[in-house]
């Protein structure tokens, strides 16, 4: 599956990518409907990643007119409508995409994430697992990680162990998966395994820009270990970078756990 269709694109880009002259000429020359649908869907994904959702929808409408049976077009519609908070349209698009291609890993992953984001966390897990079952899926660790996150969000009792297993599986496939590193570090901290938690959150903070959540966890770990200099260093970072955060307010109140 193409990498452009992964949920990672939800982050967007800073500038709007323009179709190249070569892309335009290819679209003009290719007459086969499936190729036209594919190329316009790929253009839509570029505009989507740039946050230009209106143009993305225009490209997708062209793609659907060329070939209404191309599943990736409807999956991309789902992502755009999801960003626009048009929940009903997003769900209809994802479901149509899955009817056309029920084993497509990217569509299953993205529909799972949509369900997780709309308060249906328990329902999302089967779609992440369906994505992982596809042997051609190039990034199964993303779906394991997402399954872990959505399991933790669920109100179901006794699900931490399931989440822990998903994060562990993600990290076996990709030891540098940031979301799994941070979440598993938090689980290890709650279990009292401060040494492993420390290693994981340190690795997380080296791989990506630290968040208020990851700095707060690192601070509390150093506090438990009695490392006051390191604790103060994290406190300074938290105050400087995230003075309005919930975590910094907890630090000010002295509410460490």
pTM for this prediction:
0.84
Domain boundary among 67, 101, 135: 101
CATH classification at residue 44: 1.25.40.10
Residues 97 and 3 occupy one common structural domain: yes
Residues 88 and 152 occupy one common structural domain: no
99-133 pLDDT, tens per residue? Answer: 999 999 999 999 999 999 999 999 999 999 999 99
For residues 248-257, average pLDDT = 93
Residues 4 and 32 occupy one common structural domain: yes
- d(C-alpha 231, C-alpha 105), whole Å: 42
Residues 3 and 97 occupy one common structural domain: yes
Contacts of 167 (CB under 8 A, 6+ apart): 144, 145, 148, 180, 183, 184, 187
Sequence-ordered alpha helix ranges (H) in the chain:
21-29, 33-49, 53-66, 71-83, 87-100, 105-117, 121-133, 140-153, 160-173, 178-191, 194-207, 212-225, 228-241, 246-253
Residue 209 is part of which domain span?
Answer: 175-257
Residues 107 and 92 occupy one common structural domain: no
* Per-residue pLDDT at 31: 54
Q: How large is the greatest C-alpha to C-alpha distance in the chain, in angstroms?
A: 69
* Per-residue pLDDT at 257: 82
41-67 pLDDT, tens per residue? Answer: 999 999 999 999 999 999 999 999 999
Domain boundary among 149, 166, 183: 166
DSSP-derived secondary structure letter, 210 = P
Percent of the chain with pLDDT over 90: 84
Residues 187 and 250 occupy one common structural domain: yes
Domain count, the chain: 3
Residues 82 and 93 occupy one common structural domain: yes
Domain boundary among 101, 129, 156: 101
* Per-residue pLDDT at 154: 81
* Per-residue pLDDT at 26: 43
* Per-residue pLDDT at 74: 98
- d(C-alpha 6, C-alpha 65), whole Å: 24
Residues 7 and 90 occupy one common structural domain: yes
């Amino acid at each position: 599956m193409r990498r452009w269709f992964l949920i990672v694109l939800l982050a967007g880009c800073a500038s709007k990518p323009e179709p190249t002259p070569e892309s335009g000429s290819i679209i003009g020359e290719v007459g086969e409907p499936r190729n036209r649908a594919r190329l316009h869907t790929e253009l839509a994904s570029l505009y989507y990643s740039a946050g230009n959702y209106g143009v993305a929808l225009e490209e997708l409408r062209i793609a659907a007119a060329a070939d209404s049976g191309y599943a990736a077009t409807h999956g991309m519609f789902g992502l755009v409508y999801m960003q626009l908070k048009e929940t009903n349209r997003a769900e209809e698009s994802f479901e149509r995409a899955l009817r056309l291609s029920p084993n497509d890993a990217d569509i299953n992953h993205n529909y799972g994430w949509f369900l997780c984001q709309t308060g249906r966390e328990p329902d999302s897990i089967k779609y992440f697992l369906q994505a992982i079952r596809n042997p051609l899926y190039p990034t199964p660790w993303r779906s394991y990680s997402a399954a872990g996150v959505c399991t933790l969000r669920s109100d179901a009792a006794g699900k931490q162990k399931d989440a822990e297993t998903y994060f562990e599986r993600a990290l076996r496939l990709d030891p540098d998966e940031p979301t799994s590193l941070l979440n598993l570090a938090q689980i290890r901290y709650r279990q009292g395994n401060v040494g492993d938690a420390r290693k994981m959150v340190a690795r997380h903070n080296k791989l990506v820009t630290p968040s208020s959540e990851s700095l707060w966890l690192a601070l509390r770990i150093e506090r438990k270990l009695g490392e006051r200099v390191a604790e103060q260093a994290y406190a300074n970072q938290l105050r400087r970078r995230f003075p309005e955060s919930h975590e910094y307010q907890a630090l000010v109140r002295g509410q460490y756990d």
